[in-house]
Structure 1
C-alpha cells in the first residue's frame, strides 16, 4: 500500500470512528449493572484474536461464554481467520472487529440462549488515541455492553508510565483498588485496577459500550481469579504455551486449534502427567528390520534363493513402512490435529 493510499484509508477510518463514537453509551443500561452483587447477571463473554508469528494475515478468533458468578464454561468458539485490513496503529478494530462480530453472530444464530449479557475485550475501549478502541467498536456494532481490559498501559493523551504512575500502582493494596487514568484534558478515560490479591500488577479497564466505568472496574474484579479476568485470561493447561483464553480447551486437554505462543501444539496431549499415545510406526519399522535380518540368514543357507528372498524382503519392508506412515497420519487426523503454519503467538 502506497503512502497516499494509506492516508486515504486513515481518513476514511477516522471518519467512521467518529460516526460510531457518537453511539457509545458510557452509562449503565441494564438492571443487573445497578443491582447489588450484579444480581440478574448470568452469562459473561470474552473475545480475543491470537496472531501467527511471522504472518500478519492469519489469526485465531475466539469467543467464550461463562456462567456468572461460577465462571464455568458454557460455550466456546475458536476459528482460524484471514485478516484483510492492514495494521495501522490506532485502528486495530478495523482488522479484528469483523471476525469477533462473526463469532457473536454465530452464537446468536446457533445458541441464542447463551448470548452473553456483557463482553470482555482483550484491549482498550475509551482509553484510546481517539477515545474509540476495539471494545467500543465491537460494543456499538454488536449493541452489547462491553468492557475493555488491557494488560499493558497505552501511552495516550498524556497518560504515561511515569514515576508518578508507578507510585500510584504501589497504592493498590488489595483486589478492587483503583486509580483513574486521567488525560491531559482532565477527562478520565479508564482505571488502573488491582483485580486480584494474587497479583500486584494492575490491568487497565475502560468503557466499551453500555456500561459505566465504575461498574466495569467492579465487574472486572468480580470476574478475576488471577490478574486477568477469566473470560480473556490467556492460559490453557499447566505448563503449556497456549495463547488461548483459559476456557478454550478441547476434550482431553488438547488445545482447540493449536495456536501457541512458541509454535504449533504437538500431537502429545497437553494435560500434565499424561504421556503421548504410542504410535505404531517405530514398532512396524522394528518388525521390518527383524524380518530383513531373518531373511538375510536364510539367504546364507540357501544361496540359490538369495536374490529372490532379498527382493521380497525389500518389498515387504517398504510396504510395512508405508502402511505404518499411513496409520500414523490417520491417527493424527482423527485426533483433530490441524495443519498449521509457523509458530504462533498472541
Structure 2
C-alpha cells in the first residue's frame, strides 16, 4: 500500500515538471528523494522477508526449549547496537525459563515487563538513567512479547547507547519474536509431555524412568567436571502393614507425605525420585559420602518431625554409595540398593554405606 502511494506521488511530481520550468529544480529534487525512499522501503521489505524465511528454520529445527531460547537470542544480533539480550518464557506449570546473552545481562537483572494492567502490547522501549555510572552502563532496552494463544514471554535487547532502538529495531526484533514464537510454543509442549513421561503421578517426584535418566545425566556431569557424586536409596520400613491395616488410600497418603519430606530435606541441586513402590532415591550431585550422611540426617530429622496420615510416625532404611572410576549407572544403583537391604536386615531405621572413603560414623 505504501509503495503504491509513493509511486502515485512520484508520477504526480513528474507530471508537474512539465507544467512550469520555474518548479523544475524543486520538484526534481523531491522526485529523487521519493525514488530513494521507495528503494529503501523495498530493500527493507526484502530484508524483513529474508529474515523471516531464515529464522523459522534456524530456530525451529530443535524441540529442546533451552536450545530454542539460545538460538532466539543469537538471532537478536540482527538488531543494531545490541550489547546484551535475554528471553524469559513461562511454561504451562508456571515455571519461568530464562536465557541471557552478552556481557550486559546477568542473572541478577530484571526482565523488562509489559503494561501493569496486563494488556497486550507490540513493544516497549525503556531509557535508563543513572547517577555516577560509567560509560558501559545499559542506557536503552527494547522488549517485544512472544504471543501465541497466550503470552509465552518476553524477548528483550539492551544497549549502552542512549535511544539506541528506533523503528527499524522494533521491526527487526518483532520479526525475530514472530518466528521464534511457534518454535518456543512447540518446545514448551514437548517439555510438558516429557515431564509427564518422567513424573510419578502420585508423588510428583521423578518416576523410575526419570530417575534412570537423571542418574545417567549426573554421572556424565560428574565425570566431565571431576566432582563427586553420591546416591542414596531409601525404603519405608514396614510399609506393607500400612496398606494391610488401613487400605491402599492410606498407603498413598503416606507416600505423598514422605515425598513432601523429601522435597523439604533435599538441596536445590539434589534430585528426589520415586524408584518404585515404597522405595525412593536421592541423586546427590557434587556430594561425597560424608556429605551424603548429612543429607540422610536432614531427611531423618524432617521425617521424625512429621505427622503421617493414619499411622502417625514412620521410619525408613537407606543405603548410600559413591561414584567410582569404572562405574556405570547400574553399578552405583546396585551398591546403594544392596546397602539399603543391609540396613533392613540389621534392624531397619538406619543408614548403611558402601563407599571408597573410610568408614564413617553416623
TM bucket, shorter chain: under 0.3
More helix by share: 2
Name which structure has the greater RCO, CA cutoff 8 Å, separation 6+: 1
TM-score of the pair, normalised by structure 1:
0.22
